[in-house]
Amino acid sequence: MSETAVIDEINGVWTSLGAQGFLYAEHLGTHRSLGIRESARIPLASVGKVAVIAGLLDAAADGTVDLAQRLLVDPAHSTPGGTGIAGLLDPVEMSVRDLAAMALSVSDNAAADTLFDLVGPDRIMAVLHRGGIRSFEVTSPMSHLYDVLAEVAAGDEAQALAVAAADARSGRVPLLPDSAFNTGTVRATAKLFELIHTGQLLGPEGSETLRRLLRKQIFRHRIAAGFPMDAVQYYGKTGTFLNFRHEAGVVVDSDGSAYSIAVFTRSSIATFSQPELDASIGYCARLAIEHLRTLG
């Protein structure tokens, strides 16, 4: 199949699902790549947590942060979220490194924001810039998303979703501008994961720790669904907010070749449950990577 045919097929899948997609995949050995709207800046949602943890490990490496330090997180006052500590009733005490595990394994907002406060946006951006990543910004915590929701829809997520979806096709949502959020391009996101995989972002030890944490992610309904076989390994991070459904990570194929992959989608349908769109993220990631695989 030619590259044009693959791109057409991928776009066709998303069009048929009422969504717009952004994709970037690169063979980390040959550096052959496939991109679809790879330069568009899209709200990152939880994909940004990867940069927060990278910043944390960087701070731990120079002694600024003690990974074993224990912190108290009170769900009554923490950032809300559907998973992790925010769903508990009573305060928990957890080490910094365990909060990192929570942030990446179940996309725990409370844990991630606790760490964001500890690390700070300057450190996070410094790590990204050191890696040459310019189009991936994490300067606000996850709580900011909820602040914007409160402002725009009085905290009514369904209302906010309807607003967001209505103008999704145009890509311009005046009430919920993309600029209100941490944004990034799929190309920069894939680059971030490439540097995590090759050990260049944090050095070998920090990168291995980050990879180990990323492998703990429990969600397998997006990119992992496109590679449902034991012989292929995958690690990455999902991101979900209103009508955005994302995932990005690294696929290591059975022959040892590695691919960075980032897929962002914006749906024009205002429902919270869209399993086909979730599955299409895996399907299209698979199409892109199979294409790169046949290029040799």
Partner 1 sequence: MSNITWSSNYALSDIQPVRNGSMNLLKSLEMFRAVAEHESFTRAADALSLAQPPISRGVADLEKHLGVRLFDRSSRRIRLTAAGRAVLPDVLEILRRIDGLAETAGRRDRGLVIGVSGQLDPSVLIAATRELRLAGAPPRFAPAQAAELDDLIGAGEIDAGLDVRGLGAPAATSRRRQVSDLVVDLVVASPRFAPHSEPSSISAADLRGMPPGMGFGRHAERESVTLLPEDAGLLHDSGLLTPLVARGVHLGQLRVADSEFDAVTHVFAHESVLLCTPQTARTHSLPHRSLRDVELARRVEVVGSESCDLAGLMETTPALRAAIAEILGARAHRGHAVVEGGDGRYADERLFRP
Nearer to partner 1, 209 or 280 (CB): 280
**Residue spans of alpha helices (H) in 17-120:** 49-61, 96-105, 109-119
Q: How far is the CB of 277 from partner 1 (least distance, A)?
A: 11
Q: Binding marks (x or -) toward partner 1, 193..222, rule CB under 8 A? A: -------------------------x-x--
**Quick check: 226 binds partner 1 (CB under 8 A)?**
yes
Confirm if 59 and 122 have CB atoms less than 8 A apart.
no
d(CA 277, CA 172): 21
- The answer to whether residue 255 forms part of the interface with partner 1 (CB under 8 A) is yes
Residue keyed to tokens 């920090």: 206
Per-residue contact track with partner 1, 98 to 117, x per CB under 8 A? Answer: --------------------
* Per-position x/- string for 2-41, each x denoting binding to partner 1 as judged by CB under 8 A, each - no binding: -------x--xx--x-------------------------
Of the candidates 68, 204, 228, 272, which one interacts with partner 1 according to CB under 8 A?
228
Question: By C-alpha distance, which of 25, 13, 23 is closest to 294?
Answer: 25
What residues have CB less than 8 Å from 168, skipping those under 6 apart? 19, 20, 243, 266, 267, 268
- 3-class state of residue 82 by DSSP: coil
Size of the site for partner 1 (CB under 8 A): 23
- Residue of 89, 229, 256, 296 interacting with partner 1 (CB under 8 A): 229
Q: Quick one: how far is CA 160 from the chain centroid?
A: 21
Count of CB atoms within 10 A of residue 243's CB?
Answer: 28
Angstrom CA distances, 243 to 143, 157, 164, 238, stand at: 17, 10, 7, 13
Per-residue string for binding with partner 1, 275-294, x by CB under 8 A? ----xx-xx--xx-------
Interface contacts to partner 1, rule CB under 8 A? 9, 12-13, 16, 218, 220, 225-232, 253-255, 279-280, 282-283, 286-287
